[in-house]
Amino acid sequence: MSSKSCIFCSIISGQQSAAHVYRDPNFLVIMDKYPINLGHTLVIPAKHYENLLQMPLPEVRRLYSLVPAIAAAVVSAVRADGFNVGQNNGIAANQIVPHVHVHIVPRFIDDSPDGKWPSRRVASQEELVRVAQKIKKEISLPRT
């Protein structure tokens, strides 16, 4: 199941490039092109589901089972002080790509001196690939 106009589906099928962190038959993990902080990672199911409510529960379980392993690798790779996990559903919730994805955003003690969410920026492809390589090395998946 995929959608022709979906950017994540075209990344999964290889038609569009992205900085890859992890891939298995069910999931792809890539760097967000507009990171809140360097190391901002997206966990994406290979199948196209517009939002979390369309995903069968076993797939939701698998998706969220992968999240801590990726988060641990992100935190270790960029030496973060903490991290946010976020998953937006619908335009009202600021979901930009209508294909389920979980944001893992590394956070640093001093990254929001005004208490606001740090703003997104455009990262260079080199920067994304470099941090993706670092994260890759830190991934250790739990045996299930």
- Interface with Zn ion includes 51 (CB under 5 A)? no
- For residues 44 and 101, is the Cβ–Cβ distance under 8 A? yes
Least separation in angstroms between CB 4 and Zn ion:
9
- Does the active-site annotation cover 101? yes
Longest dimension (CA), the chain: 43
Least separation in angstroms between CB 95 and Zn ion:
12
Taking CB under 5 A as the criterion, the residue among 28, 44, 99, 131 binding Zn ion is 99
Determine the interface stretch with Zn ion among 31-39, 44-52, 57-65, 130-138 (rule: CB under 5 A).
Answer: 44-52
**DSSP code string of 28-71:** EEEE-SS-SSTT-EEEEESS--SSGGGS-HHHHHHHHHHHHHHH
Catalytic annotation, pick one of 40, 48, 99, 101:
101
Residues assigned a catalytic role? 101
